[in-house]
């Protein structure tokens, strides 16, 4: 599927996407009076873990939002290889603690796109929810209120919500931020296992250790792409020192 903005003419990206799950070309996006992404051209490899890395304000969350379809680019081209619509897991802080939702109800929200808000879940929907919760190790938390969970538990519930959408493209915004080392390692291992099972995973992260364990990396600064490719080639001391200036 190809999405073009502002009548940008077709480019060579309209051909066979090859090993790319998503490709974007000269992508611009932002908010009224505040441009964020500037002329981004790159790709997300299929069946791999891609890390979006950069300081605050670099455009990581905006790029995820564009890929997820919740933010509309102002110009450029976005192409998806054949597959299901992406599943988007926002930052933990984007889901209010005050919402009267149990962990299971939170995961069930992942079926709303397929079933609709007011229709009862089918047996297949419940099976998808059961599988997602089992995969993330949160079945035993099903009856607990979301706001009562620890940071790591809550993050696993939100990832289970994304997994319940049964998409082959999972987008996560800072999935390990604010978690203790054990929780970070557990979630990183879970995401690696999802890739091994056929899911393309994209995560925005400040965690350079997690980024270095990814298959591919996009390094952003001030809404521009600084470098992309294997983490060992992208996350060099020289590149990182250029975009993270000392205070």
**Alpha-carbon distances, residue 170 vs 4, 48, 146, 185, 247 (angstroms):** 22, 11, 21, 18, 34
Residues facing residue 51 across a β-bridge: 203, 217
Residue whose pair of structure tokens reads 């980024």 in the numeric block: 211
SS3 76: strand
pLDDT mean over 177-183: 86
Q: What is the pLDDT at residue 93?
A: 60
Q: What is the pLDDT at residue 9?
A: 35
Could you tell me if 109 and 165 are in contact, meaning their C-beta atoms sit under 8 angstroms apart?
no
Q: What is the pLDDT at residue 177?
A: 85
Alpha helix positions (H), the chain: 60-68, 103-108, 112-115, 123-136, 151-164, 181-196, 208-212, 231-234, 237-243
pLDDT mean over 23-35: 94
To 10 degrees, what angle do helices 123-136 and 151-164 make?
140
Average pLDDT, the chain: 88
pLDDT mean over 143-147: 93
What's the CA gap between 27 and 156, in Å, rounded? 31
Q: What is the pLDDT at residue 247?
A: 46
Residue whose pair of structure tokens reads 């051909």 in the numeric block: 15
Q: Give residue 11's pLDDT band: very low, low, confident or very high (50, 70, 90).
A: very low
What's the CA gap between 244 and 240, in Å, rounded? 6
Q: What is the pLDDT at residue 57?
A: 92
For the full predicted model, state whether its pTM sits above 0.85: yes
pLDDT mean over 39-44: 97
Residue whose pair of structure tokens reads 């009862």 in the numeric block: 120
pLDDT mean over 131-138: 95
Q: Give residue 1's pLDDT band: very low, low, confident or very high (50, 70, 90).
A: low
Q: What is the pLDDT at residue 98?
A: 60
pLDDT mean over 151-155: 90
Could you tell me if 106 and 157 are in contact, meaning their C-beta atoms sit under 8 angstroms apart?
yes
Q: What is the pLDDT at residue 14?
A: 42
Residue whose pair of structure tokens reads 């455009």 in the numeric block: 59
Check the CA dihedral 74-13-113-165 and report its sign.
negative
What's the CA gap between 135 and 190, in Å, rounded? 8
Residue among 83, 69, 114 nearest 1 (CA):
83
* pLDDT 10s digits, 62-79: 999 999 999 999 999 999
* pLDDT 10s digits, 92-108: 665 556 678 999 999 99
């Amino acid at each position: 599927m190809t999405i073009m903005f502002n009548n940008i003419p077709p480019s060579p990206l309209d051909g066979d996407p090859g090993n790319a799950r998503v490709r974007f070309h000269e992508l611009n996006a932002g908010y009224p009076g505040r441009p964020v992404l500037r002329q981004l051209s790159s790709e997300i490899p299929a069946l791999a873990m891609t890390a979006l890395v950069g300081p605050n304000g670099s455009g990581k969350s905006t790029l995820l939002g564009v890929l997820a379809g919740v933010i509309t680019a102002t110009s450029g081209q976005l192409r998806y290889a054949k597959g299901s619509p992406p599943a988007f897991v926002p930052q933990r802080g984007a889901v209010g603690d005050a919402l009267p939702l149990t962990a299971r109800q939170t995961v069930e929200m992942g079926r709303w796109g397929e079933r609709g808000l007011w229709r009862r879940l089918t047996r297949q929907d419940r099976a998808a929810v059961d599988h997602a919760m089992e995969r993330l190790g949160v079945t035993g938390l099903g009856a607990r209120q979301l706001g009562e969970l620890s940071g790591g538990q809550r993050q696993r519930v939100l990832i289970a919500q994304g997994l319940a959408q049964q998409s082959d493209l999972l987008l996560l915004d800072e999935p390990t931020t604010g978690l203790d080392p054990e929780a970070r390692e557990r979630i990183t291992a879970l995401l690696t296992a999802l890739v091994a099972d056929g899911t393309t995973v994209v995560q925005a992260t400040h965690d350079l250790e997690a980024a270095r364990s990814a298959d591919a990396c996009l390094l952003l600064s001030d809404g521009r792409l600084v470098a992309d490719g294997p983490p060992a080639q992208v996350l060099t001391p020289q590149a990182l020192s250029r975009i993270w200036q000392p205070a």
